[in-house]
Amino acid sequence: MQVAKWGNSLAVRLPAALARELGLKEGDQVELVAGEGALTVRRAPAAEEVLAGLRRFRGRLPEGGQLSRDAAHER
């Protein structure tokens, strides 16, 4: 992949095969995560996907999970 100038920024064009593999379409947001000498590209969840996850949660805590007002306000 080639790095190119785009206005005052730099841009990388993703190959079509990678875009298909990631399920990307025009307008999608991606996250670039650097770690251990590698760069990972992943599709950022859309707002609808985040909301769907929150609706599934619906205020239930994982088993053994607790909410503590005191712990939330510790300094």
Q: Is pTM beyond 0.85 here?
A: no
Structural domain boundaries enclosing 52: 16-61
Domain count, the chain: 1
Q: How many CB atoms lie within 10 A of CB 72?
A: 7
d(CA 70, CA 43): 36
Write out pLDDT tens, residues 20-45.
988 888 988 888 888 888 888 888 88
18: Cβ–Cβ under 8 A, 6 or more apart, which residues?
41
Residue 67: inside a domain:
no
Region 50-65: what's the mean pLDDT?
A: 77
Question: Residue 72: phi, psi to the nearest 5?
Answer: -65, -25
d(CA 70, CA 34): 36
Residue 9: inside a domain:
no
Residue 25: inside a domain:
yes
